[in-house]
Amino acid sequence: MVELYLSPSCTSCRKARTWLNDHKIEFNEHNIFTQSLSPEALRNILSKTENGTDDIISMRSKIFQKLEVDVDSLSVDELIDLIEKNPSLLRRPIILDDKRLQIGFNEDDIRVFLPRDYRRVEMKTSKDAVND
């Protein structure tokens, strides 16, 4: 099952939700401001990142600049506690399933969440269109 962590006021989050709905992909939606992420969910997200905190923390956010914290010096538990108290630190949307993670909305990258059979048909259709 795909998990979508978002903020309803975020344009990229709304695009991700619409894309998932349009492609009939079932997902669980989590508003990061009304449903705080559990420590387990945050650990799961962190475990799927390529660059750790750099992937999920919005270094340009006002709250990050106001906190003046060096996230690289924090333990995982301290980082999780910081995010739980300040969910706006997270880049969003966060889209993940058992194997994949995407931070932010990118229409090309989000296609990895399409079922494999659907992607095969889509690739065949696009190849046929090019050959016509």
The band of 118, judged by pLDDT with boundaries at 50, 70 and 90, is: low
Average pLDDT, the chain: 89
pLDDT in tens, 26-56: 999 999 999 989 999 999 999 999 998 999 9
Q: Which residue ranges make up each domain of the chain?
A: 2-131
C-alpha span between 69 and 1 (Å, rounded):
34
Amino acid at 98: D
CB 69 within 8 A of CB 24: no
Does residue 123 or residue 100 have the better pLDDT?
A: 100
Of 13 and 126, the structure prediction assigns the larger pLDDT to 13
- pLDDT for the residue 110: 94
CATH architecture, domain defined by 2-131 = 3-Layer(aba) Sandwich (3.40)
pLDDT of residue 72: 87
pLDDT of residue 132: 57
* Tens of pLDDT, residues 65-116: 899 888 889 999 999 999 999 999 999 999 999 999 999 999 999 999 988 7
Three-state DSSP class for residue 111: helix
Please report how many Cα atoms fall inside a 13 Å half-sphere around the Cα of residue 4, on the Cβ side. Answer: 22
Residue 126 pLDDT class (50, 70, 90 cuts)? low
Active-site annotation, residues: 10
Q: Supply the pTM of this predicted model.
A: 0.85
CA distances from 131 to 68, 91, 112, 119, 122 (A): 55, 40, 24, 18, 14
